[in-house]
Amino acid sequence: MRRLVWAAALVVGAAPALAAQGSTEELLVQAHQFYERLEVERALPLLRQIVSPNWPFEVSADQRVDAYKYLGACLALAGKRDSSMLYFRAAIERDPFTELDPSLFTPAQLATFDEARRRTLAVAVRPVQPARVDPRTTRVTFTVVATHAALVNVKLSAIGVGSPLVLFQGTMDGVREIAWDGLLANRRLAPPGRYTLAIVGRSRVTGAADSARVYFDLRHEVAALEDTLPDLDQRSLLPERVSPEAARRDVVKGVGVAAAALLIARAANGDLGGSERGAADVVAATAAITGVVAFLADRRHGAIPENIAANARHRAQRDSVNAALRARNADRIAATVLLVAPAAGEGVER
Amino acid sequence: MRAARLVAGAILGGVACANAQRALTVEPLVSLAEHRVDAGFGVERSFGPIIGGVGTLRLGPGLAVDVRALGGSLFGANGVLDRDLGELGVEGSVAAGRWLSLQVGAARRAYGTKLGRQTWTTVDVGAAARVPFAGGAIRGVGRAALLPVVSVSGLPDPGMAFRAAAGLEYRLRAATLGLEYSLERYDFPIDQGVRRLEQLATLTVLLRLRLR
């Protein structure tokens, strides 16, 4: 029995330690529950544990911001406005998108939070979400924020390439969505690669400055393009001039035709009164003269009009095919879809 | 003369029918023909003009069919009888290379004199070569054909018959002007100690026109 009592006492004594060793999420849930039951005194130590440097467990950025926000809210309820504002500012600095839901928090808490925002300049860009964007019909949307009125400059630039594109320049206060049509300053579609969206703000209230940036990868999704027909080389074109060798061959051909005519006449006419050979002589003389004239003409200018015309037709046909092909490719490129994905930084140095 | 009229009618009729086809050429031609025959009484010569034409229908790349019709009068020398000549023929050709084509054809020819009429039926098998000159503007033409079937009314079939030709074709824009020397030779078998030899040589000028 004594052993059982000791064991029970040990369990009860160790309970707070076990709670402290619970995960950050469990502790946050517990603090929320205390806060909602207005047990601020019980919520505060839990929240302070989470933001303490001695808290042994991992605390995500969102959890830390949430803890600071509820610390500020608890302290505002407790009437400790300065401390409340301190924690609210810590939340805002870590996440400028932090908001208080007016339906869940009191006017005093909201007023303190607004004052914290007014005293703290922070600008931020919401991380880029993976998206598939057809630039003809939709836009890539970036969400930026300035915690209070500030002169803000939002620039988009390809890493290491070209000059940045200014997406927004002016005064803003709060959250703003900025749409990008996928084009760069030269009005051409942004090429694939890694991009950064940078926001720089200067407070119009305090003069303080802040900046932030996000990275994202851009890829093109485009239908396969067709290759244009290659340039016409000498082998695919007809010769446009008669070569010197061909000119010499023309003489041989002319003599060959002449010889053929004479041979035919001689072979057949021999036993039928072979003196008559006039017709063959006419053809033979014409062929020989034609060969010589063709040789001289070839040597003088040698252009082959038929081949020149055929080559011109061939070139025109090729140009026509290529023009149609380029038009089809242009249509496909015009239908390029942008694939956006978040990235961690500027990429690996090469 | 009647034969010439018949020939002209045949050509015009053929052209009109074939005009509806894809690639059609027509070649009006004029020939000076010399006919020689030695039937054991010495060489008889007759000489005269022949007119006619050839209609060629290209059925596809390298494949063509042509129909020819010729007619004219040959005037005998030294007491030889004058004779009229008329011929209808058909020939098919298929390309066997860039410049060579194989040909097969058949023809029916008639010689008419005031004494009678003699008809010839021939089948020829041969080849034609067209060798380009001057970048293709001119072509040298050579033809050779054997006539394995020759049937002549009133005579035995010749033992040997051939046709050979050589000439030139000049391309003039869409037309082609041709000049050709052609010779047909028929050696008949010896009959009662006499060997009949006969040949027809022509010098032809033609103009090939592409209709469509």
Domains of chain B in start order, with CATH, are: 2-210 (2.40.128.100)
Rounded CA gap, B92 and B58, in Å?
10
Last residue of a domain, one of A65, A93, A119: A119
Structural domain contains residue A11: no
Longest dimension (CA), chain A: 157
Number of helices (H), then strands (E), in chain A: 9, 7
Are A240 and A304 in the same domain?
yes
User: In the numeric block, which tokens belong to residue B203?
Assistant: 């010098």
Rounded CA gap, A76 and A83, in Å?
8
Number of structural domains, chain A?
3
Mean predicted confidence (pLDDT) in A12-29: 62
| Subunit contact A290:B133, Cβ cutoff 8 A | yes
Mean predicted confidence (pLDDT) in A130-134: 90
- What's A205's domain CATH number? 2.60.40.2550
How many of the other CB atoms lie within 10 Å of CB of B193?
A: 6
Structural domain contains residue A227: no
pTM: 0.54
Structural domain contains residue A238: yes
Task: Read off the pLDDT of residues B97-156 as tens digits, 9 standing for 90 and up.
Answer: 888 999 999 999 999 988 889 999 999 999 999 998 877 788 999 999 999 999 999 888
Are A77 and A149 in the same domain?
no
Residue A153 has pLDDT above 90, yes or no: yes
Residue of B nearest to A285 (CA): B167
Are A113 and A129 in the same domain?
no
Residues of chain B contacting A294 with CB distance shorter than 8 Å: 133-134, 138
Rounded CA gap, A87 and A93, in Å?
10
Last residue of a domain, one of A119, A134, A167: A119
Question: Using beta carbons and an 8 Å cutoff, which residues of A are at the interface with B?
Answer: 239, 241-242, 246, 250, 253-254, 256-257, 260-261, 264-265, 267-269, 271-273, 276, 278-280, 282-284, 286-287, 290-291, 294, 297-298, 302-307
| Subunit contact A257:B140, Cβ cutoff 8 A | yes
Percent of chain A with pLDDT over 90: 59
Residues of chain A contacting B43 with CB distance shorter than 8 Å: 272-273
Are A210 and A136 in the same domain?
yes
B115 touches chain A (CB under 8 A): no
Are A41 and A102 in the same domain?
yes
Are A259 and A304 in the same domain?
yes
Are A110 and A149 in the same domain?
no
The single-letter code of the amino acid at B31 is S
Cβ atoms of residues A321 and A229 within 8 Å: yes
Which three-class secondary structure state does DSSP give residue B166? strand
How many of the other CB atoms lie within 10 Å of CB of B210?
A: 14
ipTM: 0.84
Structural domain contains residue A228: no
How many of the other CB atoms lie within 10 Å of CB of A275?
A: 6
For residue A173, CA distances in Å to A30, A115, A117 come to 34, 14, 10
Q: In angstroms, what separates the C-alpha of B195 from chain A's closest C-alpha?
A: 11
Structural domain contains residue A161: yes
| Subunit contact A283:B34, Cβ cutoff 8 A | no
Are A52 and A94 in the same domain?
yes
Are A128 and A218 in the same domain?
yes
Residues of chain A contacting B202 with CB distance shorter than 8 Å: 279
| Subunit contact A287:B185, Cβ cutoff 8 A | no
Structural domain contains residue A52: yes
Are A204 and A264 in the same domain?
no
Structural domain contains residue A229: no
Mean predicted confidence (pLDDT) in A250-273: 84
| Range in A17-26, B10-19, B79-88, B185-194 with the lowest mean pLDDT | B10-19
The single-letter code of the amino acid at A154 is V
Last residue of a domain, one of A119, A150, A177: A119
What is the structure's pLDDT at A270? 66
| Subunit contact B133:A294, Cβ cutoff 8 A | yes
Structural domain contains residue A301: yes
Percent of chain A with pLDDT over 70: 90
Q: What is the mean pLDDT of chain A?
A: 87
Which three-class secondary structure state does DSSP give residue A122? coil
B130 touches chain A (CB under 8 A): no
Q: Between the ranges A86-95, A157-166, A333-342, where is the mean pLDDT highest?
A: A86-95
Domain that holds residue A166: 123-222+338-343
| Subunit contact B201:A273, Cβ cutoff 8 A | no
| Subunit contact A276:B197, Cβ cutoff 8 A | no
Q: Which helix (H) or strand (E) holds A210?
A: strand A209-221
Are A288 and A259 in the same domain?
yes
Q: In angstroms, what separates the C-alpha of B53 from chain A's closest C-alpha?
A: 20
- What's A34's domain CATH number? 1.25.40.10
